[in-house]
Amino acid sequence: MSFTSARRTTDGLPDLTYQPTSSRNVSSRLLTMVAAIFAGIAVLPLILVLGYVLIKGGATISLRLLTELPPPPGLEGGGIANAMIGTLVVTLIAALIAIPVGVGGGIFLAEYSRSGWFAQFIRFGTNVLSGVPSIIAGVFVYGTIVTSRIIFGNSYSALAGGMALAILMLPTVIKTTDEGLKLVPDDLRRAALGIGASRFVMIARITLPTAFTPIATGVVLAIARAAGETAPLIFTALFSPYWSDLLSGDGLFAPIASLSVLIYNFATMPYEFHNELAWSASFVLVSMILVLNLVSRWLGQFASR
Amino acid sequence: MTLSTTSTEETGASNNTALSVQNATISYGGNEAVKNVFCEIPRGKVTAFIGPSGCGKSTVLRALNRMNDLIEGCTLKGRVLFDGVDLYGPNVDPVEVRRRIGMVFQQPNPFPKSIYENIAFGARINGYTGDMDELVERSLRQAAVWDECKDKLNESGYSLSGGQQQRLCIARTIAIQPEVILMDEPCSALDPISTLKIEETMHELKKSFTIVIVTHNMQQAVRVSDMTAFFNAESVEGGSGKVGYLVEFNETEKIFNAPQQQVTQDYVSGRFG
Amino acid sequence: MAPDQDHLYRLRNRPVAEKLVDVGFKNITVALASVVAVVLFAILIVVFRGSLESMGRYGLEFLVTSNWNPVDDEYGAGAAIYGTLLTSLLSLMIAVPLGVGTAIFITENIIPPGIRNLLGLMVELLAAIPSVVLGLWAIFVMEPFIRPGLELLHTAFHWLPIFSTPPMGPGTIPAVLILVVMILPIITAISRDSLNQVPGKLRQAAYGVGTTRWGALIHVILPAAVSGIVGGVMLALGRAMGETMAVTMIIGNSNNFSLSLLAPGNTIAAMLANQFGEADGSQVSSLMYAAFVLIVLTLGVNVMAQWLVKRLSLKY
């Protein structure tokens, strides 16, 4: 017997009791503690940020805040209503562009060409595009759409902002569609084709409806992310202290306010009231985004049932 | 060009032949899976494909309604004639092929829809203009699953047991009224009682349809089929894997009682495979 | 039976319209998929063409000189490039141990599953908080809170170049800390997924030969998950380099090169956010040049991340 280290009790039986002082048990407990501390530190910012936004921003919420325009610099009173509408409008424009393009592209990747060179190339491109910094999307739209005044002679506009956000949403929507469709068992595809369905009917009636929940979950998350983006908007949609004229549609071609740009602009102003408004806007924006996240989670659980 | 307008005189396809496989060689990528298959599948009969794993019997079956098109890199040399028309002809639309030659798969695969919709879906995309309720009932009856389904037509297809699901899939195929029904080991995922029920269904179905079934189970081939094709696989020189080929095709009774090839004799008597 | 029913199946022979829809739909999806490639190339071309003027004027010197002076129309992005690399690498150094540690803590069977899921959920929600809100928080809460600590650092270590200037509010250290908060969720989430994907068999094998939890983790599970974790870290690096808003709001936007971490600094993204709206003439071109550098940096990191994940995952 070469394992001389095997401990025995006085009765000569093997000793299997836990040895709290043995070096491996000490180091194991130590590492567990370190991991616990790290996890604590990782969660701390969330609690702090959420706490401040909810308490500091939540305290300022009033009907006036939600219905009025922001005051000019230096003055007080007013709200962030135009920015709330602006965020909805710009995000909606982005979704209207990115969802059809992204879902269509995802369908191509998952249903028509899983391993062709073009599909591999598009998948690679999608990954690369998702790594492009958000500010670059802004620079790109500025360089193509804003400076060229290609949209009916307008430079900064809600549409330009929506396009910049759409570039950021696109990779996420493509990936979720691609992956969602790949989760649909091939059995179902064979079943549809086996009774004489064309590819189009198979996709439209069988695979897309089956993959609806994972795709919707991903799309909602992409919308939530886009709603909070600032960098692509600061020199595409710019900002506006006024209501945007949405009824006639002209508002889409003019600069538009958004919550995120409002936070950026007002946080760096030397006026306390405007700083307060930035907190209020944060409260509204974070609430919107958290609700969207919860919706996507609910969708996901709905699917697993 | 559509199938029905094409004349049927092309080769010596007699009226009693539904499908005629002529010197078919099927490859995945560059590798031949099964080669030089000749086989005349008679109309209104049940034909069984048997043989050890990897002999290419499922590959040949899928070639009969161009399901192999879905596998990237799969190619077929030779001809497959359906009523005398080459299924792999340049103007043939695989979707139309599958509307005439339906398929039932190894795993029951109902759509995530109601039982009623599972049946109606296929009929509708085939432009069915008759009474849908009547068609659903008739198809489910023919597949011998009506009694289990009649009270829950609006429930999901997944609420049925595995065997019932497979019969639902058969009903779904019947509902598009194909001329031929291909079955790829339809009972391999089922328990013996469900298997028996499906075999009974097949006896009913052969009155109306030509059936080709791939099976691992030799007793099943004896019980249900009129004709049997025995496939085997052998290593080829210079090739990496095995290549399947058709050993013998004859009446089921002859294959099992008086085979002409020694390998067939060995296989049906259980000496290998 | 089949023939006499045939007339009921109107579409047995597919009408031309149906075939056209089928082919048309496929072509539409191909076109939509191509949008990705078109946008990507368009971004590269637009930014590259925009920067040509500045490239011709400064060449590669642009990358190392740090005088950014719109008044004299002289530009060099050295300070911003240095700041980009510095802030992202420093934040990575802090966030990687924290993120991987957290991932271990929420995948290992140390605490009840309820709390584990809650922790995981909280880290995911942290990723959902917009960068601009984190910037706001950094300006008004975090920076005032850590200022006394930074002052202490300065008094004790002012002879070290990196702590040589007194903290004045915005600066590199607050920017690094807020970057840590931003990339922590990515590292944690991807590490967690990689750890979860390690087959249970491996863990059982390790326990089966008598290792402790950490023995199994260090010798078996982490090596098996390393490809995913490294990929996540690289993605986080790319994100940190391109992160704009929170950094812009707290880094101080100074183009003067300083070794001190307590002094205001700059990153490429922050510089773009700050100046692009009001820039004209050759300043735009120089900003485009800087943007091009940023694209090359993030692209390189992302491509390397994909390559590493593929390469490392072969081993296991």
Q: Give the CATH number for residue A109.
A: 1.10.3720.10
Q: Quick check: A193 and B70 CB within 8 A?
A: yes
- What pLDDT does residue B273 have? 56
- What pLDDT does residue A113 have? 85
- What pLDDT does residue C309 have? 75
- What pLDDT does residue B173 have? 93
Chain A residues near residue C134 by CB distance under 8 angstroms? 49
Chain A residues near residue B67 by CB distance under 8 angstroms? 190, 193-194
Q: How far is A271 from chain C (nearest CA, A)?
A: 13
Chain A residues near residue B96 by CB distance under 8 angstroms? 196
Element (H, E) at A279: helix A272-304
Q: Strand pairing partners for B101?
A: B180
Pick from A82, A170, A101, A181: nearest CA to A134: A170
Above 90 in pLDDT, residue B60? yes
Above 50 in pLDDT, residue B193? yes
In a domain, A19, yes or no: no
Query: What percent of chain A lies above the pLDDT cut of 70?
Result: 95
d(CA B215, CA C265): 74
- Chains interfacing with C (3 or more CB pairs < 8 Å): A, B
Q: Quick check: C14 and B123 CB within 8 A?
A: no
Nearest chain C alpha carbon to A113:
C30
Q: Does A34 touch chain C (CB under 8 A)?
A: yes
In a domain, A149, yes or no: yes
The pair of structure tokens assigned to A183 is 């989760």
Q: What is the average pLDDT across B212-222?
A: 91
Higher-confidence position of A3 and C31: C31
Element (H, E) at B195: helix B192-205
Of A115, A194, A210, the CB nearest to B67: A194
pLDDT tens digits, C241-262 = 999 999 999 999 888 888 888 9
Q: Is A263 helix (H, G, I), strand (E, B) or coil?
A: helix
pTM of the model: 0.87
The pair of structure tokens assigned to C245 is 């808003």
CA dihedral B20→B199→A188→B188, nearest 10 degrees, is -100
- Helices and strands, number each (H, E), in chain C: 13, 0
Pick from A248, A283, A284, A281: nearest CA to A265: A281
Q: Quick check: A188 and B169 CB within 8 A?
A: no
- What pLDDT does residue C5 have? 62
pLDDT tens digits, B124-158 = 988 888 899 999 999 999 888 999 999 999 999 99
- What pLDDT does residue B3 have? 43
In a domain, A50, yes or no: no
Q: What is the DSSP string of A64-113?
A: HHHHSPPPPTT------HHHHHHHHHHHHHHHHHHHHHHHHHHHIIIII-
Above 70 in pLDDT, residue C186? yes
List b or e across B236-271, with b for residues whose CB sees 16 or more CB atoms inside 10 angstroms: eeeeeebbbbbbbbbebeebbeebeeebbeebbeee
Mean pLDDT for all residues in chain B: 87
- What pLDDT does residue B64 have? 93
Q: Considering the domain C79-312, what is its CATH architecture?
A: Orthogonal Bundle (1.10)
Above 90 in pLDDT, residue C122? no
- What pLDDT does residue A232 have? 93
d(CA A46, CA C307): 32
In a domain, A38, yes or no: no
The pair of structure tokens assigned to A156 is 């900064």
The pair of structure tokens assigned to B261 is 């090839």
Above 60 in pLDDT, residue A305? no
Q: How far is B35 from chain C (nearest CA, A)?
A: 32
The upper half-sphere exposure of residue C54, i.e. CA atoms within 13 Å in the direction of its Cβ, equals: 28
pLDDT tens digits, C77-113 = 999 999 999 999 999 999 999 999 999 888 887 778 8
Q: How far is C19 from chain B (nearest CA, A)?
A: 9
Mutation target to probe the C interface, by most C beta carbons within 10 A, among B126, B131, B138 is B126
Above 60 in pLDDT, residue A3? no
pLDDT band at B7 (very low <50, low <70, confident <90, very high): very low
Above 50 in pLDDT, residue B254? yes
d(CA A279, CA A53): 6
Q: Which residues contact A228 (CB under 8 A, 6 or more apart)?
A: A260, A285, A289, C128, C129, C130, C131, C132, C133
- What pLDDT does residue B188 have? 86
Chain C residues near residue B3 by CB distance under 8 angstroms? 13
Cβ(B228)–Cβ(B63) under 8 Å?
Answer: no
Chain B residues near residue A303 by CB distance under 8 angstroms? none
Interface confidence (ipTM) of the complex? 0.89
In a domain, A181, yes or no: yes
Residues 122-151 on A with a CB inside 8 Å of C are 122, 124-129, 131-140, 142-144
The pair of structure tokens assigned to B24 is 């078919």
In a domain, A144, yes or no: yes
Cβ(A172)–Cβ(A225) under 8 Å?
Answer: yes
B69: left (phi over 0), alpha (psi -120 to 50) or beta: alpha
Query: Which range marks the domain in which residue A196 is found?
Result: 80-304
Mutation target to probe the B interface, by most B beta carbons within 10 A, among A193, A195, A210 is A195
Handedness of CA B110, B115, B117, B118 (dihedral sign): positive
The pair of structure tokens assigned to C164 is 């040589």
- What pLDDT does residue B46 have? 94
Strand B46-50 with B74-82, pairing: unpaired
Chain B residues near residue C5 by CB distance under 8 angstroms? 130, 177
Q: Which residues contact C199 (CB under 8 A, 6 or more apart)?
A: none
Q: How far is C106 from chain A (nearest CA, A)?
A: 8
d(CA B67, CA B272): 30
Nearest chain A alpha carbon to C300:
A128
pLDDT tens digits, A243-272 = 888 877 778 888 999 999 999 999 989 999
What are the sequence ranges of the domains in chain C?
Answer: 79-312
Q: Which residues contact C90 (CB under 8 A, 6 or more apart)?
A: C176, C261
pLDDT tens digits, A45-71 = 889 999 999 999 988 888 988 999 999
Q: Quick check: C9 and B125 CB within 8 A?
A: no
pLDDT band at C23 (very low <50, low <70, confident <90, very high): very high
- What pLDDT does residue A248 have? 77
- What pLDDT does residue B110 have? 93
Cβ(C76)–Cβ(C58) under 8 Å?
Answer: yes
Q: Strand pairing partners for B39?
A: B21
In a domain, A130, yes or no: yes
Q: Does B99 touch chain C (CB under 8 A)?
A: yes
pLDDT tens digits, A73-93 = 888 888 899 999 999 999 999
d(CA A189, CA A206): 8
Tally the domains of chain A.
1
Q: What is the average pLDDT across B245-268?
A: 91
Lowest-confidence range among A150-154, B156-160, C62-66, C207-211?
Answer: A150-154
pLDDT tens digits, A147-163 = 877 777 678 899 999 99
Mutation target to probe the B interface, by most B beta carbons within 10 A, among C7, C13, C21, C23 is C13
In a domain, A41, yes or no: no
A5: left (phi over 0), alpha (psi -120 to 50) or beta: alpha
Q: Does B181 touch chain C (CB under 8 A)?
A: no
Residue type, B140: L
pLDDT band at C175 (very low <50, low <70, confident <90, very high): very high
Q: Strand pairing partners for B245?
A: B232
Above 90 in pLDDT, residue C228? no
pLDDT band at C2 (very low <50, low <70, confident <90, very high): very low
